[in-house]
Amino acid sequence: MLVVTNTIKIKEGHGEAMAQRFGGTNGVQEMPGFVRMEVWHGSPKEGVEELKICTVWENEEAFKGWTSSDSFRQSHRGAGGNEAILGASLDKYELLLSRTPEN
């Protein structure tokens, strides 16, 4: 299992509108190996909001399939020209342990 986080720094006041972009149909939900996506919104600090987009994949190959797909290119077109975005960073994490209430 692989979790990929995209942390996006956004000008204060634009976080919720930006988060809505991830709720639309962009093809990721149809990709082989896609498990789920969560969008987290952090509290504003010094005029900056933070969105953390977490996607969970069965494996690295599934994630690479998404990033090389036409759906990925279409869903990210024009994102670099959004003046509300101040920066972004991508990180990957391999799941080593998971707990549920039952175990």
Distance between CA atoms of residues 83 and 47, nearest Å: 14
With cut-offs at 50, 70 and 90, classify the pLDDT of residue 83: confident
Judge whether 99 lies within some domain.
no
pTM assigned to the model: 0.85
Q: Is 80 exceeded by the pLDDT of residue 79? A: no
> How many domains would you assign to the chain?
1
Q: Cβ-count burial of 37 within 10 angstroms (0-12 exposed, 13-18 middle, 19+ buried)?
A: middle
Judge whether 39 lies within some domain.
yes
Q: Is 70 exceeded by the pLDDT of residue 36? A: yes
Distance between CA atoms of residues 64 and 43, nearest Å: 31
The residue segments making up the domain with residue 26 are: 2-94
Return the ∠ at Cα 82 (arms to 14 and 23), rounded to 5°. Answer: 60
Residue % of the chain over a pLDDT of 70: 95
Reported as a single tens digit per residue, the pLDDT across 61-78 is 999 999 999 988 888 776
